[in-house]
Chain A
Amino acid sequence: MSRRAPDAAPVDDGRGASGATGGEAPLLEVTDLVTHFSTPRGVVRAVDGVSLSLRRGETLGVVGESGSGKTVLSRSIMGLLPKHNVIRRGSVRFDGREIGDADSEEMRGLWGTQIAMVFQDPMTSLNPVMKIGRQITEPLLHHLDITKKYARDLALSLLSSVGIPEPERRLGQYPHEMSGGMRQRVMIAIAIACGPKLLLADEPTTALDVTVQAQILDLLQKEQQERYMAMILVTHDLGVVAGRADSIAVMYAGRVVEVAPTRTLFAAMRMPYTEALMRSIPRIAEPSHTRLKAIHGRPPELIDPPPGCRFAPRCEYVQDRCWKEEPPLIPGDEPGHSYRCWFPVGTPEGEAARERNRAAGSAAPANAPEAPAAPAAGAVAGA
């Protein structure tokens, strides 16, 4: 029942994130961003009131499972949404400028030179019939007033910067002649070519081999630091952002449910969803064949989500209140930490709530997942 209005206020607390740059104004400030899609079945609330802020030189990790709205969020920030059947509200301030309502003509001035994006699948994000060299030099020539020769030199240095051996030879190759990791390196080279201030990386390693993932992430981090960019690293893997992001926003069903500086999030998470995500990471120390602690159930439908906390149907801590009232973003103890939970993890109330549920025969997890709709909610609450 709590609408978006209360969410906006605590957001400003989010800026205390452990960035190296103290007093600088945020480069990107997203306030109450809403992105809905009208479909024949109803309005899909893909992003529903998200607020973030990010300074130059900082990395923000956006974590969430499939369908939590993280990809839509990144495209919405960038203004790369389909024209039709999209409802977009809220404010996106970039470098002191409001771009929340900018049309694509206006955005084109920012794309590539100010904001750039690395896509998920390097197999499809390069044009199969264009040589690598052309794909890198094209935006350079388009945006910067330089000669072809100079663009080629830039492309060469970009390729070596992203760790591609024999850049001379690679310039003349087609994407199909390169491996997935190489292609992603090329994508990164293209994205950083025109010196953007903000880099959005949308699950940059999901399509890659595990052995290559770390290399690509290290590369992104290196470029981000060298070029003093702000970076949003979207992923479904907490492990990916753990060592690399300054702060982390956990998304669930179109909302940010917890945001905190990375260390705080790992040390003192408050949101049960974050805890559940954390527990679902396999650990090397555990004996083999240990069952992973998966989160049962599925994320809710983004069309017409039930009232109350959206994680309630899957939550171990769920109480009556959770089914009825959606918690606002509540500021935590640490600066920059806020979460949406009535019975936060690690607090006496939370522990009490979990104990109650355990005593009641783990009522919530057993009953709720198959019927997350409101009537079922009542039933569980009554138990």
Chain B
Amino acid sequence: MPEQSPSPTGSPPRPPSESGGGVAATPEVVPATDAAGPSPPDSVPEAEAAGHGRGLGVMAWVAIGWLVLVVLLAILAPLLPIPDPVNDIDTNAFLASPSSGHLLGTTSDGHDVLSMVIFGARASLIIGVGSILAGFLVGGFLGILSGYFKGRIGGVIGSVLDIFLAFPNLVLALAIVSFMGQSIRNIVIALAIVSAPVLARIARASTLTWSEREFVLAARAQGARHARIMWREILPNVLPAMFSIALLGIAVVIVAEGGLAILGVGVKPPTPSWGNVINDGRSDLADAPWITLAPSAAIFFTVLALNYLGDVVRARFDVRESAL
């Protein structure tokens, strides 16, 4: 999977190392990996001295830090000393304001808001990452295929993608979820269907330019098959562009989940998600704004972080391409 951090060996920033990752190089793993093997930019002075190293910048590390925090909290939620968001009801505190017992207050049912936001991160992240991952695989596949075979195959795939792109996204997602039922899995599928054409578009556009490059012809002249050329030669070059869009896509999908929840087709209520916690607090907005504010803030900062990182990724790879 693509490496974000400058490699500690002092060599210049590498293009995504292609080793075996392939399409499976998933965007969502990034925060986790960075947490696992943090190599802060200032720890590679040689790279800087060589003039190759470009630090990510403080803001990017803040963004990564936030995402790591959110992911860790979501993963470790059951182990944290917080009340269960579904079963634990504090009968002494309905609509309680933030206090030492309930850091972010409680809902009208006596649920702890902090706990709902933390557990809600699980649903929201699964939906965000899951649907973009699926959209990434399907869209990337279709996009590269249609960009590489410009003839009939490309035309047919392109038209189908255009049809999907012509639907208003949220309406399409809403229709699919209402039709299939309100489970997390179905929401993931719906949002994947909405996001795949967008990612396919990026993959297609990128493939169109890369497949004109001489190294593709050179690979053919060495007897490589189409599948091999697409997989080995084109895919690694298309990934950076798709990757940066995918990061933005996760942000969009997390927001979309909130939209679906407010339209009443989000994650079914006992299971918290950021969207349905916001929806939950909507009726009590005047009396207990914290219920809505907490998940909104979570969405806001997560989306901000993802957008920022998406820009960072794009900027880095743009520079590399133009320097070629």
Decide if B223 touches A187 in the complex (CB within 8 Å): no
- Within 182-211 of A, Cβ neighbours of B (below 8 Å) are at 187, 190-191, 194
Q: Can you list 20 A-B pairs with a CB-CB distance of less than 8 A? A: A78-B221, A111-B222, A112-B222, A117-B218, A117-B221, A119-B214, A124-B213, A124-B214, A124-B215, A125-B214, A125-B217, A127-B219, A127-B236, A128-B324, A129-B236, A138-B222, A139-B224, A143-B223, A187-B218, A190-B222
**Is A296 interfacial (CB 8 A cutoff)?**
no
Which residues of A have CB within 8 Å of B228? 142
Stretch at the interface among B14-22, B68-76, B104-112, B257-265: B14-22
Besides the contacts A119-B218, A139-B224, what 9 more A-B pairs have beta carbons closer than 8 Å? Answer: A84-B151, A111-B220, A111-B223, A112-B223, A116-B221, A124-B215, A125-B215, A130-B236, A174-B14
Q: B232: which of A80, A104, A130, A194 is its contact (CB, 8 Å)?
A: A130
- Within 92-128 of A, Cβ neighbours of B (below 8 Å) are at 104, 108-113, 116-117, 119-121, 123-128
For B, the interface residue count at a CB cutoff of 8 angstroms equals 25
Query: How many CB-defined contacts (below 8 Å) exist between A and B?
Result: 80
Decide if A121 touches B222 in the complex (CB within 8 Å): no
Where the two chains meet, the residues of A that have a C-beta atom closer than 8 Å to any C-beta of B are 78, 80, 83-84, 104, 108-113, 116-117, 119-121, 123-130, 138-139, 142-143, 174, 176-177, 187, 190-191, 194
In whole angstroms, how far apart are the Cα atoms of A191 and B221 in the complex?
9
In this complex, what residue of B is CB-closest to A114?
Answer: B223
**Is B323 interfacial (CB 8 A cutoff)?**
yes
Task: Kindly supply a per-residue 1/0 record for chain B positions 256-287, scoring 1 wherever the CB is within 8 Å of any chain A CB and 0 otherwise.
Answer: 00000000000000000000000000000000
**Is B54 interfacial (CB 8 A cutoff)?**
no
In this complex, what residue of A is CB-closest to B16?
Answer: A129
Knowing A113-B223, A124-B213, A129-B236 are in contact, say whether A190-B218 is a contact too (CB < 8 A).
yes
In this complex, what residue of A is CB-closest to B237?
Answer: A129
Decide if A128 touches B15 in the complex (CB within 8 Å): yes
In whole angstroms, how far apart are the Cα atoms of A126 and B12 in the complex?
18
Which residues of A have CB within 8 Å of B213? 124-125
In this complex, what residue of B is CB-closest to A117?
Answer: B221
In whole angstroms, how far apart are the Cα atoms of A370 and B14 in the complex?
52
Which residues of A have CB within 8 Å of B218? 117, 119, 125-126, 187, 190
**Is B90 interfacial (CB 8 A cutoff)?**
no
The smallest beta-carbon distance between A184 and chain B, in angstroms, is 12
The smallest beta-carbon distance between B261 and chain A, in angstroms, is 40
Which residues of A have CB within 8 Å of B225? 108
Decide if A116 touches B214 in the complex (CB within 8 Å): no
In whole angstroms, how far apart are the Cα atoms of A84 and B153 in the complex?
14
Task: Kindly supply a per-residue 1/0 record for chain B positions 300-317, scoring 1 wherever the CB is within 8 Å of any chain A CB and 0 otherwise.
Answer: 000000000000000000
The smallest beta-carbon distance between B80 and chain A, in angstroms, is 41
Task: Kindly supply a per-residue 1/0 record for chain B positions 226-246, scoring 1 wherever the CB is within 8 Å of any chain A CB and 0 otherwise.
Answer: 001000110011000000000
Scoring B12, B221, B223, B225 by chain A CB atoms within 10 A of each residue's CB, the highest score goes to B221
Where the two chains meet, the residues of B that have a C-beta atom closer than 8 Å to any C-beta of A are 12, 14-16, 18, 151, 213-215, 217-225, 228, 232-233, 236-237, 323-324
In whole angstroms, how far apart are the Cα atoms of A113 and B221 in the complex?
10
Which residues of A have CB within 8 Å of B15? 128-129, 174
In whole angstroms, how far apart are the Cα atoms of A129 and B232 in the complex?
10
Decide if A119 touches B151 in the complex (CB within 8 Å): no
Knowing A128-B237, A129-B237, A174-B15 are in contact, say whether A116-B222 is a contact too (CB < 8 A).
yes
The smallest beta-carbon distance between B216 and chain A, in angstroms, is 8
Which residues of B have CB within 8 Å of A119? 214, 217-218, 221
Q: B220: which of A80, A127, A187, A190 is its contact (CB, 8 Å)?
A: A80
Which residues of B have CB within 8 Å of A116? 221-222
In this complex, what residue of A is CB-closest to B151?
Answer: A84
Which residues of B have CB within 8 Å of A174? 14-15
In whole angstroms, how far apart are the Cα atoms of A80 and B220 in the complex?
8
Decide if A139 touches B217 in the complex (CB within 8 Å): no
Knowing A84-B151, A174-B15 are in contact, say whether A126-B215 is a contact too (CB < 8 A).
yes
Knowing A124-B214, A127-B237, A129-B18 are in contact, say whether A80-B221 is a contact too (CB < 8 A).
yes
The smallest beta-carbon distance between A268 and chain B, in angstroms, is 37
The smallest beta-carbon distance between B215 and chain A, in angstroms, is 5
The smallest beta-carbon distance between A80 and chain B, in angstroms, is 6
The smallest beta-carbon distance between B209 and chain A, in angstroms, is 11
Decide if A127 touches B323 in the complex (CB within 8 Å): no
The 9 closest A-B pairs by CB, nearest first: A112-B223, A129-B15, A111-B223, A125-B214, A112-B222, A139-B222, A129-B236, A124-B214, A117-B221
The smallest beta-carbon distance between A29 and chain B, in angstroms, is 21
In whole angstroms, how far apart are the Cα atoms of A187 and B217 in the complex?
12
Decide if A83 touches B223 in the complex (CB within 8 Å): no
In whole angstroms, how far apart are the Cα atoms of A126 and B225 in the complex?
17
In whole angstroms, how far apart are the Cα atoms of A322 and B81 in the complex?
97
In whole angstroms, how far apart are the Cα atoms of A348 and B237 in the complex?
61
Decide if B233 touches A127 in the complex (CB within 8 Å): yes
Which residues of A have CB within 8 Å of B323? 176
The smallest beta-carbon distance between B11 and chain A, in angstroms, is 8
Scoring A84, A112, A187 by chain B CB atoms within 10 A of each residue's CB, the highest score goes to A112
The smallest beta-carbon distance between B103 and chain A, in angstroms, is 47
Knowing A123-B324, A129-B18, A130-B236 are in contact, say whether A80-B217 is a contact too (CB < 8 A).
yes
